[in-house]
Amino acid sequence: MPVQAGSLAALSGCAGPLSTLSPSGPAAASIAALWWVMLTGAAVLFALVLVLFFLVMRRPGWGSGVSPARWVVLGGLVLPAIVLIPLIGYALYAGERLLPLPGRTTPPRIEAIAQQWSWTFRYPDAGGLETKNVLQLPAGTPVDIVVTSQDVVHAFWVPRLAGKIDAIPGHETHLRVQADQPGQYEGLCNQFCGFGHAGMHFTVIVDRPEDFSAALKEAASAAEVKK
């Protein structure tokens, strides 16, 4: 029972609105796949070590003909390399896919401006409209998020859509985000930035492309009213 309860608790941590293992976009899917590949590689390496351990336990003296230096080379270098080198190669490949590399078309840009303890989103392609703590995105469309900060270092992160990127004062960082389907997602700052850090969340609302402009104007109007 304790083992089963622990397993259920561990699995429950892999779900929810902030789960990186429930991807809703290509970037998040690549990150989730990398996690599963790394987990599989770690399990394979652990299993190989256990096989050696049980061989020694069941057959005392097994391997005594191998010199200590060879054990160090085989067990400490060759065995991990068999698993780790392919994992590193896949990680580099997956990381390259996450970069906002230039393409045939230039994705629309949205500016994400962090400040203690809120987010302002500006839409240059929509006449400079602004929303507060609400990021509007069109479904199925890649968007370049230009992230910066007005005070201290923050971090922009929407776990189900993409990886996190730092918001640095006086500097712009870029993150390409795409949501596959309309819906609502949660984003947050996951870089400690002061006493209000725990409440520095924002909502990502993804609309159908044909509804995006109207939804953005409505969200911008609501932000103006709150001012």
Domain ranges for the chain, please list them: 20-98, 109-226
- The model's pTM is 0.78
How much helix, strand and coil, in percent to the nearest 5, is found in the chain? 45, 25, 30
- What would the two tokens of residue 196 be? 């209000």
> What separation in angstroms does the CA of 62 have from each of 31, 58, 77, 119?
41, 9, 20, 62
Number of other CB atoms surrounding residue 60 within 10 Å: 7
The domain defined by 109-226 folds into Immunoglobulin-like (2.60.40)
Which residues make beta-bridge pairs with 185?
A: 204
Contacts of 102 (CB under 8 A, 6+ apart): none
First-last CA distance in the chain: 54
* pLDDT tens for each residue of the chain, 227 residues long: 443 444 444 554 566 778 888 888 888 888 888 889 888 888 888 888 888 788 878 877 776 677 778 778 877 788 778 878 888 888 888 777 777 666 656 789 999 999 999 999 999 998 899 999 999 999 999 999 999 999 999 999 999 999 889 999 999 999 989 999 999 999 999 889 889 999 999 999 999 999 999 999 988 887 776 66
Which residues make beta-bridge pairs with 204?
A: 135, 185
Helix (H) or strand (E) holding 49: helix 26-58
Count helices and strands (H / E) in the chain: 5, 10
Name the nearest CA neighbour of 39 among 18, 6, 10, 17. 10
